Amino acid sequence: MEQKKVDILRQMTENFDVQAVLVYSCAWRKENFRYLTGINFYGPNALVLYIRDTGDVYILLSSQYDEKRTREGIEGIKEILPVNDGGLALARVLETNKIKSIGVADGGLFPAKFAAAIRDAGTSMRSAEGYIEKIRYRKTPEEVEKLRAAVHLADRAFPVFVDGISRGLNEFQIVAEVEYALKKMGAEDNFMLISTGQQEVYGMTPPMNRVAKPGDLVLTELTPQFDGWWCQICRTVVKGEPNDVQKRVFDIFMEAEDAGLALTKPGININDVAKAENDVFRKYGYGDYITSQYTRVRGHGHGMHLDEAPTVNEGVDLIIEEGMVIVIHPNTYNPETGYMVMGDPVVVTKDGNRMLSTTERKLFSAK
């Protein structure tokens, strides 16, 4: 295990004044385990345990397959332990090391059986939530390149999406072709939303049988995962030629994204980025459609989860720092056209930001 990751665990014990820390990940939220170890896992859960006094690191796994891969991929760990024993091995290590206090980082997903095992060992638990996530806000140059590689897959797969619309495929077929293209290019996974010809508030959904008709808007978020890292683009496509209303409304979305991008730089509160985006809609009389009734966020962090903090919304109090990677997307409902989306990931630089995606920023047309 990399020394800098062990140092993070050691610092956690000092910050939270505990003798040990336990980092829990489940199959849905693997990112903290993968960040610390560099290893993917396929069982239902995986944990990292660090003991302050000895400096020992234990890996706890629920799958024999994961155990084999972990032994081959991680050096410097004390022991690999099972967690499908109801937490008995975990309790044994805590008792042996006389651990009376432990910090737990679990994303609010910690199974009751593990909590019971810790209590049975005579160990008190404290929340260590958020510490690793805040470190992960700022990406190293190597991590930025992983994110760039991920969004490059989205850039290469987006023409497949447009071609599927042109050929009259339904949403299921378009998603299948995009997924196939991404996996051929090396994507581990892909989170994708799509919507065709709908004017409802919920702009993007899982795929359905819908086929785009001339004049319909077709929306997507493409979020491939590469080597554990997710990165996203959001684009709107018109089946055929866009009409004047669609072009006028889309120009507002572009102006809103530009306003958000212009403020995405070190020292700026992320609240002000969201406000800059929302103020564009307010300026054109669409202020009613920037509330939670019509939209979720104006952007979010990128990294080892597909939708990470920080959230770009008014009311979020967080200062942007160099090295953060954030997707800016003023996606929302418009009463004249229905939902539209437009979004791009950027890495925050010393003086501003740098775009990671290369897909043209425009309203696309699928003939």
pLDDT digits 0-9 by tens, 128-180: 999 999 999 999 999 999 999 999 999 999 999 999 999 999 999 999 999 99
| Residues 118 and 215 placed together within one structural domain of the fold | no
Return the closest-CA partner of residue 3 out of 106, 79, 102, 75.
75
Q: What is the pLDDT of residue 292?
A: 87
How far apart CA 48 and CA 24 sit, in angstroms, is 7
Q: What is the mean pLDDT of residues 16-21?
A: 98
Please check whether residue 116 is in contact with residue 94, taking contact to mean a CB–CB distance below 8 angstroms: no
Q: Which of 50-59, 72-81, 114-123, 165-174 has the lowest mean pLDDT?
A: 72-81
Asked if pLDDT for residue 256 goes beyond 70, the answer is yes
| Residues 94 and 217 placed together within one structural domain of the fold | no
Per-residue tokens: 72: 């081959």
Asked if pLDDT for residue 24 goes beyond 90, the answer is yes
Which own/partner contact pairs does 162-165 have at CB distance under 8 Å and 24+ positions apart? 162/237, 162/364, 162/366, 163/366, 165/212, 165/218, 165/237, 165/239, 165/366
| Residues 148 and 18 placed together within one structural domain of the fold | no
Per-residue tokens: 170: 């339904």
57 - beta bridge partners? 50
| Residues 118 and 145 placed together within one structural domain of the fold | no
How far apart CA 174 and CA 339 sit, in angstroms, is 19
pLDDT bucket at 72, cuts 50 / 70 / 90: confident
pLDDT digits 0-9 by tens, 269-320: 999 999 999 999 999 999 999 988 888 899 999 999 988 989 999 999 999 9
User: Helix, strand, coil proportions of the chain in percent (round to 5)?
Assistant: 35, 25, 40
Return the closest-CA partner of residue 340 out of 254, 262, 276.
254
| Residues 215 and 104 placed together within one structural domain of the fold | no
What is the total count of domains within the chain? 2
Contacts of 66 (CB under 8 A, 6+ apart): 39, 41, 42, 43, 46
Domain final residue pick, 103, 136, 169? 136
What does each C-alpha distance from 129 to 103, 134, 275 come to in angstroms?
8, 10, 28
Biggest CA–CA distance in the chain, Å, is 72
| Residue at token pair 């091995």 | 89
Cα atoms found within 13 Å of the Cα of residue 144, Cβ hemisphere only: 18
| Residues 11 and 100 placed together within one structural domain of the fold | yes
Cα atoms found within 13 Å of the Cα of residue 330, Cβ hemisphere only: 28
How far apart CA 156 and CA 185 sit, in angstroms, is 9
| Residues 111 and 151 placed together within one structural domain of the fold | no
| Residues 49 and 173 placed together within one structural domain of the fold | no
Q: What is the mean pLDDT of residues 225-245?
A: 97
What is the value of pTM for the model shown? 0.92
| Residues 168 and 38 placed together within one structural domain of the fold | no
| Residues 233 and 303 placed together within one structural domain of the fold | yes
pLDDT digits 0-9 by tens, 83-130: 889 899 999 999 999 999 999 999 999 999 999 999 999 999 999 999
Please check whether residue 235 is in contact with residue 342, taking contact to mean a CB–CB distance below 8 angstroms: yes
Q: What is the pLDDT of residue 257?
A: 98
The residue range of the domain holding 177 is: 141-366
Please check whether residue 211 is in contact with residue 169, taking contact to mean a CB–CB distance below 8 angstroms: yes
3 state SS of 85: coil
Phi and psi angles of residue 331, each rounded to the nearest 5 degrees, phi first: -80, 125
Q: What is the pLDDT of residue 325?
A: 97
| Residues 65 and 84 placed together within one structural domain of the fold | yes
How far apart CA 38 and CA 5 sit, in angstroms, is 10
Phi and psi angles of residue 204, each rounded to the nearest 5 degrees, phi first: -130, 140
Helix (H) or strand (E) holding 61: strand 57-61
Domain final residue pick, 76, 102, 136? 136
How far apart CA 96 and CA 114 sit, in angstroms, is 17
C-alpha Rg value of the chain to the nearest Å: 23
Domain final residue pick, 112, 136, 160? 136
pLDDT digits 0-9 by tens, 315-355: 999 999 999 999 999 999 999 999 999 999 999 999 999 99
| Residues 188 and 223 placed together within one structural domain of the fold | yes
The CATH number given to whatever domain includes residue 362 is 3.90.230.10
Q: What is the pLDDT of residue 30?
A: 94
Asked if pLDDT for residue 201 goes beyond 70, the answer is no
